[in-house]
Amino acid sequence: MTTSSISPRKNRYAVVLFGPEGQGSFNESGLQGARKAQAAGFDVDVLWVAGQSAEQRAQEMAVLCGGRYALILAHGGQGDGPVKILAQRWPSQAFVVTQGSWSAANVARYEVLQEQSAFLAGVLASQWSKTGAVGHFSGEKVPPGLRGRAAYADGVRSAGFKGRLLTQFCGHQHQPDWAQQCIGSMIEQTGLDIVFAMIDGGRPGVTQACREHGAAQIGNVLDWVERDPEVFVASAICNSGEALFRAIEDHENDVLHLGGYRAFGLEEPDLVRLALGARIDAQSKLLVEEWAHRLVRGEHEIQLNYSGAEFPLPQAELAA
C-alpha cells in the first residue's frame, strides 16, 4: 500500500486501483485523482489490487474495511463486484465506485461520462475509414466498457457509416502480448483501418499491432495523440480520476449522497472531449463539433443497447 505523508485528519480515504501497480492509463488517471486529493490536504491512501475475480478483489480490499477509513473508493467498473460483496459484509462502511453501475445504501456512484467521448470517436471513425471496416477493442466486459462500446457503435451509425463495425473483448486489461495478438488477427482478417481501443495496461500491444499493420488508433482516457501522433489520430478523453477527487471533496463537505449518483460530461471539456490529431481534416472536425454540441444540448440520446456480433478471439489460450 502506498500511503500519503499528510498527518492524520478526521477523515481518512482509501483509493483502490485494479491491476499491476503503475500500469495502465485508466489507473494513471485514477492515481492523478488521488494525488490531487492529497495535494488538497486530504488524507488519502492508495491500494493496488491484482486479483481478477470479484472474490479475489474483495479479499484484498477487506483490509481497508471495519472503520479504518471514512470512505473507500474503488476506481472503475472492476470495483462493482468486490464492493457489492464488501458493502453487504460491512453495512456501516461507506463506499464509492467510479465508472461503475451498482450502488446500495452505503455505496455512491461517481462517473465521468466516457460514453460521450466514445460516441464522438465513432463519429470520427465513420469519416476516417477508407476500407469500410472500423473496429472496437477492449479487455474485460465491465459495464463502463460495454457502455463505451455501445456509444461508439451509436456514433458510427449516427454519422451514416454504411460499412462494417468489428468489435472484440480480449478478456484482460493488462496483457500487451495477448492484446497485440488479438487486434493483429482482427486487422489481418478484416482490413479495418481504424480502431477505438478501450484498454489499459495492454495498450502497448494494441499500438504495436496498429503500427505494424498501418491502422490508425483512437485512444481513450488520456490524450494519446499527444503521446504518439504517428499511430493515434484521436483520443476519447475521460478524466476519470476527477471522479475520485470530486467524491472525496463531496464527502469532506458532507454532500456525498450514499445510494446516489453524480456524473460529469462534455459540459466540462477538461474532463470529457475528443482530442483530435493534426491528420483530421476540417470537415471531420466540424462534424465532431456539431455532434458534441448536439449531445450537450440534449438533442441526441446515446443508445447503449448494442447487440452486434463480436469478432472471435485467436485460437490461443489467454495467459494466466
Q: Where are the alpha helices (DSSP H) in 49-170?
A: 54-61, 80-89, 114-128, 143-158
Query: What pLDDT digit, counting tens, does each position of 192-205 carry?
Result: 999 999 998 899 99
pLDDT range class, residue 118, cuts 50, 70, 90 = very high
The sheet carrying 164-169 orders its strands as 164-169, 133-138, 194-198, 216-221, 232-238, 272-276
C-alpha cell recorded at residue 140: 474485460
Give me the amino acid identity at 136. H
Q: Name residues whose C-beta falls within 8 Å of residue 286's C-beta, 6 or more positions apart in sequence.
A: none
C-alpha cell recorded at residue 133: 471496416
pLDDT range class, residue 117, cuts 50, 70, 90 = very high
Name the residue with higher pLDDT: 189 or 7: 189
* pTM, entire model: 0.85
Query: What pLDDT digit, counting tens, does each position of 42-77 carry?
Result: 999 999 998 889 999 999 999 999 899 999 999 998
Q: Is the distance from CB of 256 to CB of 97 less than 8 angstroms?
A: no
Query: What pLDDT digit, counting tens, does each position of 150-184 carry?
Result: 999 999 999 999 999 999 999 988 899 999 999 99
Cα–Cα distance for residue pair 226/25, rounded to 1 Å: 14
What DSSP designation does 104 have? B
